[in-house]
Structure 1
Amino acid sequence: MDTKVESLIIKFLTKEANLEELQQLELWISNPDNESLFFEYIRTNAFINFAMSKYDKKAAKTNLVRRIKQEKNSFYYSSKIYNAVKYTAAAMVVGLLTTMYFFRNDIFNTDKKNIPVITNNSIEAGTDGAILTLEDGSVVSLEKGASFQTQNANSNGQQIEYKPGKQETAKVAFNYLTIPRGRQFFVKLSDGTRVWLNSESQLKYPVTFIEGESRQVELVYGEAFFDVSPSTEHKGAKFTVINNAQKVEVLGTEFNIKAYKDEDHVYTTLVEGKVEVSASAVKQILKPNEQSNVNKLNNSILVEVVDVKAEIAWKDGIFSFKGKSLKTIMKVLSRWYDVNIIFENKDLESVKFKGVLDKNQTIDEVLSIMKSSTIDNYEIKDKTIILK
């Protein structure tokens, strides 16, 4: 394939193409002689385990051209492109091809016994939302499209931002931000620290921090990504994240903590900077690209090098599963889609899956992708998914 065309495809998939480039790609893909080149490129470079030869390429081309035209008409491009292009491109390709092809029963298996049973196909992807508990104990539901304001904070329903301020007294007022299953949320603390919260998480934090003293928040449970405001901007005040299993002390850095109530391990992944992880009397210094694994049962700490981009992809709308077991993956999906998972076939729990998925897809689209290589069959019944 011509390198210029390859560049056009990548720019389109990552929403970086300008209007002229969209027009060039539309013209190229409209040529029947280029169909096989396009599909071979997708199959080779997007890590998609599909039986491409069974696809209706004519219908696919029609849908692709339609999507390009929609892009041209709206001509909207996100100002924040996820820095790992390979994950974004792969996830978008998955979403694109899912939309195009999954209505076809012959993609994976024409045997009627293996056609998924869907009693209620209304399980959509999660969205922004949270429950805010104020210092006086009152509770506010923060939902997409609804605004909320206090003396110290403003929310548009998708995020909440606290006004910069200095606490002059020893009495600190705390807020709680609780993220239910099927939701995610963003908060900017009064010191400028930014926190992305995943589904089924809770964060406790001061409305304002005491000037000159250590800044401390508590990840009560769940998963959060922290982009900490440097200590140099706060008279050297360190930043600390605690929970019931560990303490993480930082000076100014980016890191992810995963500490769910129903899991026996707490994972801290360092993106940049330097942190010290403490569990009981054990301490470990993390370097970028390292992840600590704290065993809550015996307070031991293991450290290993990980693929950081895969670990934090969730905050950018992507599930990146690299050799994860189905049992682990289904826990993640159950929180985002707010569903229950039943393994009718227990052998599936240990089966590994490697792939990149778009968090905006419906649960049926996600399971259909996995069915191509991992799951024999499944049933969706109300808010329960049965893997067979």
Structure 2
Amino acid sequence: MKKDIKNICVKYLMNEANAQELENLEAWLKKGKNKETFATYIKINYAMDVNMNPFDKETAKKEYLERIWKDKRSHKKLRRIKTFSYAAASIVVLIAASFWFTKMGNTIIEPQFTEPIIVNNQIQTGTDKATLTLENGEQIALTKGASFQTQNATSNGEEIVYITANSQQPIVKDSVSHNTLTIPRGGQFQLTLTDGTQVWLNSESQLKYPVVFNKGETRQVELVYGEAYFDVSPSNNHKGADFKVYHKQQEVQVLGTEFNIKAYKDETNVYTTLVEGKVSVTTGSKTKILLPAQQSNLDIVVNSLGIANVEVYDIVSWKEGIFSFERKPLKEIMTTLSRWYDMDVIFANKDLETIRFMGSLNKGQNIVDVLNDIKNFGVINTYEINNKTITLK
């Protein structure tokens, strides 16, 4: 490791690196095996520090969490934060220290790993793909690299854009036609509605929406299931018309803002996270107002609706090509990854399900690299891949 890069690494760990140094570190981490070198450097130096000083796991975790939290807060624009994913993916070694190192007197013990077994790996990295269902029931496969056009919309295989409402003639309410965009496991897609609202749809999601909105009336779409990020066109651009997102369990009303809704079919909670602006979340007779960096949690089982402050980046980074996990149980993490990689996960050791993990993973990585990262961080001992099934041990 070159001396200048080593100095930048030290500054990064001390939260003293400036913007230029962070850019240099990012560029260096993208080349060859530098990420592995960086991770090894951290492990060696961290181990030395543990040997020389009394080790308190909880205090160490807290310090590292606060350090990364401050680093994220210093780069408020989500799209700029994305560029630091390489460093974040390596720095997770620090957070995983409680797995890598066990203090027994003055001895540091590293877990012994077993080589993974890979048989006919059929797991593919997710990509841009969706199924568009037209108003007449016709279904069209949208895939990356393939263009498509209808009277109302065009697609380049990564997103579908509808003709702006300004070019449409006034329409009768009863004549409004709807399209449905369905994202399968292993997919993602973007959508621009006729009012200019942008929507990012995550894997295993479905959105129903009008081909064109009635001018001056409430703009309504339905998140049937899954996860979606909305960047809503302001109401003052549409004669004051507000925007509503329906789900069978709740209604979100906005005037113009950015927010994320997570409502998967196999989960008993619906999460709405506000990035900018203000929204109201209503379910039954309950209504909550969200402010930026707040999240509502609708528990479907007990019909409760609560609000908590959250780290927005960890929740919405998926749309920027990053999975960011902040002390999430491994079972929850693997559920997220299983949707993106369209795979099944088995825990041979059920105790692994509750182990918490913090770090960032690039959505462009193949599954073997992802699992090796998790294994190298000491979270699991080994894994097996057989066709499209992963077994964690």
In 1, are the aligned partners of 2:384 and 2:390 still within 8 Å (CA)?
A: yes
Letter in 1 for 2:137: G
The superposition leaves residues 244-264 of structure 1 with CA deviations (integer Å, 9 ceiling, x where unpaired) of: 111000000000000000000
Hey, what does 1:145 align to over in structure 2?
Answer: 145
Match status 1:241 vs 2:238: no
Deviation at 1:90, TM superposition (A): 2.4
Letter in 1 for 2:387: D
The superposition leaves residues 340-364 of structure 1 with CA deviations (integer Å, 9 ceiling, x where unpaired) of: 1111111111111111111111111
In 2, are the aligned partners of 1:245 and 1:299 still within 8 Å (CA)?
A: no
Q: Kindly tell me: are residues 237 and 368 of structure 1, through their superposed partners in 2, closer, same or farther at Cα, counting changes over 3 Å?
A: same
Letter in 1 for 2:223: L
Q: Kindly tell me: are residues 225 and 122 of structure 1, through their superposed partners in 2, closer, same or farther at Cα, counting changes over 3 Å?
A: same
Query: For 1:82, what is the secondary structure of its paired residue?
Result: helix
Match status 1:380 vs 2:381: no
Match status 1:169 vs 2:172: yes
Q: What CA RMSD, in Å, does the superposition of the two structures yield over aligned residues?
A: 3.1
The superposition leaves residues 128-152 of structure 1 with CA deviations (integer Å, 9 ceiling, x where unpaired) of: 0100000110000000111100011
Q: Kindly tell me: are residues 202 and 40 of structure 1, through their superposed partners in 2, closer, same or farther at Cα, counting changes over 3 Å?
A: closer
Letter in 1 for 2:147: S
Letter in 2 for 1:130: A
Range that drifts further, 341-350 or 232-241? 341-350
Distance 1:207 1:13 in 2: 46
Deviation at 1:92, TM superposition (A): 6.7
Distance 1:92 1:125 in 2: 18
Letter in 2 for 1:82: R
Relative contact order higher in (CA < 8 Å, ≥ 6 apart): 2
Hey, what does 1:321 align to over in structure 2?
Answer: 325
Range that drifts further, 187-196 or 371-380? 371-380
Deviation at 1:312, TM superposition (A): 0.4
Hey, what does 2:22 align to over in structure 1?
Answer: 10
Distance 1:299 1:110 in 2: 45
In 2, are the aligned partners of 1:87 and 1:356 still within 8 Å (CA)?
A: no
Specify which of 181, 184, 190 is matched with residue 186 of structure 1.
190
Deviation at 1:387, TM superposition (A): 1.1
The residue correspondences of 1:107-146 to structure 2 (distance < 5 A) are 114-146=114-146
The residue correspondences of 1:1-388 to structure 2 (distance < 5 A) are 6=8, 10-12=22-24, 14=26, 43=41, 82-84=79-81, 87-90=84-87, 114-165=114-165, 166=168, 167-170=170-173, 171-372=175-376, 373-388=378-393
Query: For 1:84, what is the secondary structure of its paired residue?
Result: helix
Distance 1:304 1:380 in 2: 38
Distance 1:344 1:4 in 2: 39
The superposition leaves residues 289-312 of structure 1 with CA deviations (integer Å, 9 ceiling, x where unpaired) of: 000000112321111000001110
- TM-score under structure 1 normalisation? 0.78
Letter in 2 for 1:157: G
Deviation at 1:89, TM superposition (A): 3.8
Distance 1:311 1:383 in 2: 26
Distance 1:292 1:130 in 2: 28
Structure 2, unpaired ranges of 5+: 9-18, 48-76, 92-109
In 2, are the aligned partners of 1:82 and 1:88 still within 8 Å (CA)?
A: no
In 1, are the aligned partners of 2:26 and 2:84 still within 8 Å (CA)?
A: no
Letter in 2 for 1:118: I
Q: Kindly tell me: are residues 344 and 252 of structure 1, through their superposed partners in 2, closer, same or farther at Cα, counting changes over 3 Å?
A: same
Distance 2:270 2:135 in 1: 28
Question: Percent identity at matched positions?
Answer: 52
The superposition leaves residues 179-232 of structure 1 with CA deviations (integer Å, 9 ceiling, x where unpaired) of: 000000000000000000000000000000000100000000000000000000
Letter in 2 for 1:220: V
Query: For 1:312, what is the secondary structure of its paired residue?
Result: helix
Deviation at 1:43, TM superposition (A): 4.9
Q: Kindly tell me: are residues 248 and 42 of structure 1, through their superposed partners in 2, closer, same or farther at Cα, counting changes over 3 Å?
A: farther
Distance 2:150 2:45 in 1: 54
Matched positions, count: 328
Deviation at 1:42, TM superposition (A): 8.4
Letter in 2 for 1:381: N
Deviation at 1:124, TM superposition (A): 2.6
In 2, are the aligned partners of 1:118 and 1:381 still within 8 Å (CA)?
A: yes
Q: Kindly tell me: are residues 81 and 251 of structure 1, through their superposed partners in 2, closer, same or farther at Cα, counting changes over 3 Å?
A: closer
In 2, are the aligned partners of 1:39 and 1:52 still within 8 Å (CA)?
A: no
- TM-score under structure 2 normalisation? 0.77
Distance 1:227 1:81 in 2: 13
Q: Kindly tell me: are residues 42 and 174 of structure 1, through their superposed partners in 2, closer, same or farther at Cα, counting changes over 3 Å?
A: farther
Structure 1, unpaired ranges of 5+: 16-21, 30-34, 45-49, 55-79, 95-107
Q: Which runs of 4+ in 1 moved over 3 A?
A: 1-9, 12-15, 38-44, 50-54, 91-94, 108-111
Distance 1:4 1:355 in 2: 21
Deviation at 1:8, TM superposition (A): 5.5
Deviation at 1:287, TM superposition (A): 0.4
Letter in 2 for 1:359: K
Q: Kindly tell me: are residues 381 and 85 of structure 1, through their superposed partners in 2, closer, same or farther at Cα, counting changes over 3 Å?
A: closer
The superposition leaves residues 7-46 of structure 1 with CA deviations (integer Å, 9 ceiling, x where unpaired) of: 655224556xxxxxx9xx99xx9xxxxx99x9569855xx
